[in-house]
Structure 1
Amino acid sequence: MCVFVFDGAQRLALCPAGRGVSLYIPQPSINATVREDILLSVEYSCVGVPTIEWKYTTNWGEQKIVEWKPGTQANVSQSHRDRVCTFDNGSIQLFSVGLSDSGYYSIKVTEHLGSSQFGTIILHVSEILYEDLHFVAVFLAFLATVAAVLISLMWVCNKCAYKFQRKRRHKLKESKSEEIELQDVEC
């Protein structure tokens, strides 16, 4: 009989030596982006050489991905041929995932005496929306252009204000000198 231990989001089945299968899933939930290679990582322990089977489940049903015994040739489904790599520890790697790869990936490890262990990894694949990035880049360029125009406008206004003040000072000096001349004439 196996004892289940829950460590946060990780599940571990501990079985007494020589009996049953134990399965450990270090990352039960994976977020990925389109065209990324991802590793569905697991570790198992059991007596003898087990049979490892991975299935993919979505709202549209369940599909077998791969089945193999460590050290032998893997039987990969036609839908995942050239997209899956198997490892002797029970892990698989999916190459160039797409949006349709989002779903539940179930592993079943069965030893030759018939005991088995199940585990599930949830994969969420999202798309990088380059249109959004393009919009942000165009918006930032627009803001930079507006800032440059405003700075130029402020510079022109400052120059005009400076010239206006110079003319005003010059006229003020002229008017003061005329007043002084007028005062001199009146005396």
Structure 2
Amino acid sequence: MQPLGHRLLSDETAPGLPGTGRRRGHRHPLPGRRVGSADRKKEKRQSIIRPLLKQTTEIAPGGVSLVVPQPNINATVAQNILLSVEYSCRGVATIEWKHVSSWGTTKIVEWKSGNYVNISTVYKDRVTTFENGSIQLLNVGMRDAGYYFITVTEEYGTNTYGTIIVNVYEIIYEDLHFVAVLFAFLAAVSAILICFMWLCNKSLHLFQKKTAHKLTGISLQMQSRYRFFKPEF
């Protein structure tokens, strides 16, 4: 009688034998084959997670984009300026504007689309917000020059940034007004002096004419008297 182990091995490798019920090529599972069960479990888990991942990818936003058409703005004192931007996103966005200059960093305004608007006390009654993310600053001064940073944050956590540089130039209206008034005053004084000189010249001419006429009359009078009293020899 052959040993059991040898018999089983012979039964595996032998062609179909009567009573064995086995086919050629069929083998008993070996201990190393148990890895296949773990692979099957892994594939099963992946088959369950894969639709969820696909669903999450479809729900997740496509991000947020921001366009700054005019990154440099030149303005003069007391002028109103528009910090123009245009953002787009799939979710609800939060917009925040900050001003950075040599005087420090100041938060201007923060608002959520269709919800709240928080304007800093420093910029109270000076800022107007728009749905596309733009803001308008009223009556700018020299301290308003600097960098303006906008941050657009989507409700899913995606955010983007933009920068606008603002240059503010001061026009000294008082000096211009003084120069204009001084010029007008000098022109008026010059006109008055010209008129006065013309009147003086005219008066002097009339006086000279009148004096010459008197002298002529006196001369004729003296000549007539001289003729009347002239002795005859």
1:148 — aligned with what? 192
Residues 73 and 19 (structure 1 numbering): CA distance in 2 closer, same or farther, change over 3 Å?
Answer: closer
Q: Could you report, residue by residue, the CA deviation over 1:80-138 in whole angstroms, capped at 9, with x for unpaired residues?
A: 23432211111112234333222222222333452413121314153543254134313
CA distance in 2: counterparts of 1:25 and 1:128, whole angstroms: 31
Structure 2 partner of 1:117:
161
In 1, the alpha carbon distance for the partners of 2:201 and 2:89 equals 82
Query: Which has more strand, going by share of residues?
Result: 1
- Root-mean-square deviation (Å): 3.6
AA at the equivalent of 1:151: C
Structure of higher CA gyration radius: 2
Q: Give the helix-richer structure, 1 or 2.
A: 2
TM-score normalised per structure 1: 0.66
Q: Does the 8 Å contact 2:68/2:162 carry over to 1?
A: no
Cα shift readout 1:117-175 (whole Å, capped 9, x = no counterpart): 31213141535432541343134213312321222212321332254256547867998
* Greater shift in the superposed pair: 160-169 or 111-120: 160-169
Pick 1 or 2: higher relative contact order, CA cutoff 8 A, min separation 6: 1
Deviation at 1:31, TM superposition (A): 0.7
- Aligned residue pair count: 167
What residue is the counterpart of 2:135 in the other structure?
Answer: 92
Q: Is the 8 A contact 1:55 1:66 kept in 2?
A: yes
Q: Name which of 199, 203, 214 aligns with 1:159.
A: 203
1:137 match: secondary structure: helix
- Distance, in Å, in 2 between the alignment partners of 1:21 and 1:38 is 23
Q: 1:138 to 1:155 in 2, by over 3 A?
A: same
Which consecutive segments of 4 or more residues in structure 1 shift more than 4 A?
Answer: 165-176
Letter of the aligned partner of 2:101 in structure 1? T
Q: Which position in structure 1 is the counterpart of 2:119?
A: 76
Q: Which runs of 5+ in 1 are unaligned?
A: 1-17, 180-187
Percent identity, please. Answer: 34
